[in-house]
Structure 1
Amino acid sequence: MTIGWLDLAAGASGDMLLGALVDAGVPLDVPAEAVAALPVEPVRLVAEQVTRHGLGATRVHVHAPPADTHRTWSDVRALLTGSALPSPVRDGALAVFERLAVAEGRVHRVRPDEVHFHEVGALDALADVVGVVACLEYLELDRLTASPVALGSGSARGAHGVVPIPGPAVLELLAGVPVHAGAVPAEMCTPTGAALLAARVDEWTTLPALRVERVGTGAGGRDPAELPNVVRLVLGDPAGAAPPGPVVLETNVDDLDPRLWPAVLDALFAAGASDAWLTPILMKKGRPAHTLSALCRPDAVPAVQAAVFATTSTIGLRTVAVGKVELDRTHAAVDVLGGRVGVKVATSAGRVVNVSVEHDDVAALAGDRDLPVKEVLRAATAAAAAAHPVGPPPEEPPSDEPPPLWG
């Protein structure tokens, strides 16, 4: 399983994303062949090694013949649909341009099909989108994550005149995404870059826990003084990350008939709780109450929460992630008074440290033999201790420190 994380502290553009993917190990032939499948004039991709603030990076240049064609969303859709692109790349590129058309339509208050792409309809933008989608399909990532996006500030001149930064289309495309102005008073995220991010990123987060395998750094054309103008792509395996630990759900209840508590605990265990318990407390105004606690795995939290709300009168829960140390355990059985009783054996570093008998088995055997439970328990405990003796504590290593002169 491989996941990717995009560092977007310097924003994003199509060529920066393409450069990061190529720098991370995607062969240049992958985007080049995808671009060549478009029914347009010949377009050539060239990778160049550059530096930004001393940081090595790959910049991918798109060499296309000059053209003043202003394509509509319908034109671009027909172009991609009629191309020889593989289905995943074609459909991925269509999804990116559809987002662009919808965003531009909202900004200019027209229907998406009436949107005229200017900068983003040019050959270099088409090559960026198709190339980035082809590279992502080549990597077959299980998940693509990204940092908040730096958008820039100020103003810029576009096809319609002077526009504020962040651009209106960029803000439309990244609605619901964490963004910030960033350090550079200029455009840091282009509409093409924003559309690619909106269509392909699965989660917006800081660097997730992973074992880093590769890092790709893609450069933009500018080299501002404030920071390196690059996108970094970090690829790694999340298997090296520690799995999430157990969770304790807690709530204070002061208005539940105490006869209901045994059924509540049974319902929590049935929902997947590893343990559940009650703690008597005194609440405000001197009211007696109980704290209900349930320990469960992260995947069991929704079911246990539902069980708490269904079986108690509470209207809220506290959720606390906790650590847990657990001994290795095995199950066995011992013969006692003509019957069998289950035994749990706990070990640490291969040494038996705890032995306990299953009380339900003890009680059932006591009923079968018409004996007091305490007598069967005493016999079963003795048999379990004999069958699984607790090992001696590990020897302390000899100390080189001299003995104290007092004590």
Structure 2
Amino acid sequence: MSLKKWKEGKAQIFVPERSLLRKLERYPAFYNPRGALTRDVSVGIARKLGKNVNFLDAMCGVGVRGIRACVEADVKRVVLNDVNPEAIALAYLNAKENGILDKVELQSQGCNAVCALEDFKKGYEFVDVDPFGSVAPFTHNALLATRDCGILGVCSTDGANLCGNRPHALHRLYFAFNKNKLGKKESALRILMGFVIRSAAVLGFAAKPVLCYVFADYFRCHFLVKRSQKEAEALTRKIGYTLSCEHAHYSSEPVCEVCGARAVSGPLWTGELCDKEFVTQVLSEITKLDFVQKQTKKLLLLLSEECSITQSFVDLHALVKGLGLGTPKIEKVLEQLKSNGFKATRTHFSPTGVRTDAPLKHVLQACKS
């Protein structure tokens, strides 16, 4: 394969030249430069956990996530695994290039196999599973590989399924429906979160969401995993459904108070997308690294602001469409809602969206003022 030397964060890596083209290819070894932001976040989490961390990158591709965890977070040990032997050969080359072979263990097994090996053992403090497509087939074993009070990071790039564009595939993989046309990405993320939480509960594990977001094609979730049936039961009580319609986006009533229509999405997670303290600590670690892109810091800051509001975001442009109103200025709407005693912030899901605990009629009034 033709290789090109590439820099991401502080890591110097070799990647297949074809992987830098606009059209991504899985083979001979997978690398997506657009995923650098997600790896920035992983580095921040690893730094927050401290140096005594064993990190499993269960589907590592060229190994960049685990290598950056070594180079930038100084983790104790990294296991780089990929079922593709060509990817592992490249991961070895990249670990050698960065002088960290003494900290790296390389394996070439299926993700489920390498994770299942940790069943009934201590497991890893940080497990990351980043497949090409849905993470659903790997979730059960990934949970088993995560030690008590460890962090599990999962990613799905099957947005067409999660967003409800392929309803049969969504139901087959996640046992859910997504009919939220205006906030489909948030519902998609919450469906994924709910799936992991329910999968953990079956094992008697509590998977508490600590940092979950959508970036480009990535639906990324991080969970604090505890082996506690009691805490698992508490989390499952926040699995539910959301109601929406094409005009109002969100309603807490059985039918939309604006147009009378309704669409049910779920089962999904109805609680916070992130733990504010956790996100703030990760952001603090990221801020210490001058090579991390500004977009990563901006995302984490926004997540820390919006995570305390669990009500679905409202797309203001979609909300006023057809009502004869001009396009509302988001900052003015936020200011109006806050002056009326409501929580209100921007959302990372949409540049034209706001997240607020205000009833829909108050959001409409703020748009009119």
- Which bin holds the TM-score, normalised by the shorter protein? under 0.3
Q: Is the strand fraction higher in 1 or 2?
A: 1
Relative contact order: is structure 1 or structure 2 higher (C-alpha 8 Å, sep ≥ 6)? 1
Superposition TM-score, scaled by structure 1 size = 0.22
Q: Is the helix fraction higher in 1 or 2?
A: 2
Q: Larger Rg: 1 or 2?
A: 1
Superposition TM-score, scaled by structure 2 size = 0.23
